[in-house]
Amino acid sequence: MEPVGTPLSDPDALRARLGRARLMLLFTPELARGDPLAALACALPCADVVQVRVKSAEHPRGASPARALCDWTLRVLEVVGDSALVLVNDRVDVCAALLARGVAGVHLGDRDTPPEDARALLGPLPLIGLSTHAQADVARAGELPLDYLGFGPVFPTATKGYARGLGPEAAWIAAQGALVPLFPIGGIDAQNALELEGVGRACVGSAILGAADPGAAARALRAALLPEA
């Protein structure tokens, strides 16, 4: 079988592309109002990075979590092509298996594989991101082999069950102190994204996938992050 995406081989170009990224789509199929892949296709012109995250409810009968994530990631790669960077959530093993198919890296939660171990397994090329939830986490991340950070939840979010967020000011402070690109996450939509203009980045899932018009939602979010672009 031919590779789905284009294998990535230039670490400098890959990280430069990440540095220009503004909107990361957290692709969780169950958040979509309709066909998840159709929603993805509509959002793609505005999404620079797509992080594939599959919840247990999305696993086909009999499929392991790793197999379900692998299958969904291959479908995403077919839709995305070269138009965005594709990351997998949590699973370093799935990332390693799909590097030759075009996957650019992995996003780790604070309870997943330690970044040092992930880097040792994946080598120097793939991107590695980490979830952070406080300024202290961001400071510690500066000592780790990471390429970007997620930070949140910035606003209250039903998806993760947070009734309160850290606030946009905390995200701005975190971004100023981070040594790598930082993507605020959690409860972000086109309205409150205006409060993140000072950061200029965001990771968004339900506000795009669950919208009646995912493409319009993605355009509005990108415009809010970069009002003069």
The tens digit of pLDDT for each residue in 58-85 reads: 555 667 889 999 999 999 999 999 999 9
User: What pLDDT, on the 0 to 100 scale, is given for residue 52?
Assistant: 98
The mean pLDDT value of the chain amounts to 93
Residue 10, token pair as written in the block? 């230039």
Strand partners, 176: none
In angstroms, rounded to a whole number, what is the distance separating the alpha carbons of residues 118 and 110? Answer: 13
Residue 13, token pair as written in the block? 């170009």
User: What pLDDT, on the 0 to 100 scale, is given for residue 177?
Assistant: 96
Beta-strand ranges (E) seen in 113-211 are 127-132, 148-151, 182-184, 202-204
Residues 153-164 pLDDT 10s: 999 876 656 668
DSSP annotation of 193 reads G
Residues 168-191 pLDDT 10s: 999 999 999 999 999 999 999 999
Residue 84, token pair as written in the block? 């965005």
In angstroms, rounded to a whole number, what is the distance separating the alpha carbons of residues 51 and 70? Answer: 12
Q: For residue 128, which phi and psi values (nearest 5 degrees)?
A: -130, 125
For residues 69 and 91, the answer to whether their CB atoms sit within 8 Å is yes
Q: Which domains does the chain have, with CATH numbers?
A: 11-225 (3.20.20.70)
In angstroms, rounded to a whole number, what is the distance separating the alpha carbons of residues 127 and 144? Answer: 13
User: What pLDDT, on the 0 to 100 scale, is given for residue 64?
Assistant: 87
- Cite the DSSP H helix spans in 56-142: 65-80, 92-98, 115-122, 135-141
Candidates 181, 158, 162, 169; CA nearest to 49 is: 181
Candidates 117, 94, 107; CA nearest to 182 is: 107
Q: What is the value of pTM for the model shown?
A: 0.93
Residue 184, token pair as written in the block? 């605020």
